[in-house]
């Protein structure tokens, strides 16, 4: 499969509010193809999340997945601090995020659309997300730590927001 490139910052699509996906759209082979492409692009990057605008499609779809290998570079202590636990592949269509509780966390974060850089970003520690799965079935996920961070980052993409809008500017660095 020929994979599309990941759109880099500066492209207008990353600053648009992506469109809601309709039930009719979900039922099309083109939509299922889009989801498969997003999963393949995320895994190839490799990354732990991807939003449709990052491959040039302005629709409210995100994919996320974290594996043991993806965090293998972190010391057990770092993994523990980040509350970074592997989780299975998830696809959310029209996700709606609700922060839970008042706790937040500060950690370095990167983005496949701002290749080569990272910065410290404050995120809610715990969130609940609802939306549809790739077949249009409603689903809800309550999570905390690293997956909660990924969700906040990806849902931001659907609203045209990048982590550089939220970062501690003096922490911005080349990686």
Counting residues that bind Zn ion (by CB under 5 A) gives 1
List the one residue out of 134, 162, 157, 129 whose CA is nearest residue 17: 157
Using the contact rule CB under 5 A, the part of the chain among 21-29, 107-115, 116-124, 130-138 near Zn ion is 107-115
Using the contact rule CB under 5 A, the part of the chain among 3-11, 79-87, 95-103, 108-116 near Zn ion is 108-116
Hey, what are 21's tokens?
Answer: 């996906």
Contact (CB, 8 A) for 99 and 127: yes
Please work out, in degrees rounded to the nearest 5, the angle formed at the alpha carbon of residue 15 by the alpha carbons of 13 and 18.
65
Q: Which of 18, 55, 111, 148 binds Zn ion (CB under 5 A)?
A: 111
Nearer to Zn ion, 26 or 158 (CB): 158
CB of residue 153 to Zn ion, shortest distance in Å: 6
Using the contact rule CB under 5 A, the part of the chain among 60-68, 73-81, 104-112, 143-151 near Zn ion is 104-112
Helix (H) or strand (E) holding 102, with range, is: strand 87-110
Nearer to Zn ion, 119 or 132 (CB): 119
Nearer to Zn ion, 18 or 111 (CB): 111
Please work out, in degrees rounded to the nearest 5, the angle formed at the alpha carbon of residue 25 by the alpha carbons of 23 and 28.
115
Query: 122-141: which residues touch Zn ion (CB under 5 A)?
Result: none
Respond yes or no: is residue 154 known to be catalytic.
yes
List the one residue out of 89, 104, 88, 94 whose CA is nearest residue 148: 104
Nearer to Zn ion, 144 or 153 (CB): 153
Distance CA 99, CA 70 (A): 25
Contact status: 61 vs Zn ion (CB under 5 A) = no
Hey, what are 2's tokens?
Answer: 């020929």
- Which residue ranges make up the site for Zn ion (CB under 5 A)? 111
Residues annotated catalytic, as ranges:
154
């Amino acid at each position: 499969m020929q994979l599309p490139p990941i759109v880099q910052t500066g492209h207008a699509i990353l600053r648009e509010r992506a469109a809601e996906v309709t039930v009719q759209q979900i039922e099309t082979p083109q939509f299922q193809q889009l989801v498969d492409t997003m999963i393949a692009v995320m895994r190839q990057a490799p990354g732990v999340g991807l939003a449709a605008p990052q491959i040039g499609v302005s629709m409210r779809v995100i994919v996320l997945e974290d594996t043991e290998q993806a965090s293998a570079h972190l010391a057990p202590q770092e993994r523990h601090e980040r509350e970074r636990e592997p989780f299975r592949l998830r696809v959310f269509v029209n996700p709606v995020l609700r922060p839970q509780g008042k706790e937040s966390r500060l950690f370095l974060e990167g983005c496949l659309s701002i290749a080569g850089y990272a910065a410290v970003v404050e995120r809610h520690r715990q969130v609940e997300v609802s939306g549809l799965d790739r077949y249009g079935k409603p689903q809800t996920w309550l999570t905390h730590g690293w997956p909660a961070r990924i969700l906040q980052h990806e849902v931001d993409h659907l609203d045209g927001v990048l982590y550089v809008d939220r970062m501690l500017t003096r922490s911005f660095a080349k990686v």
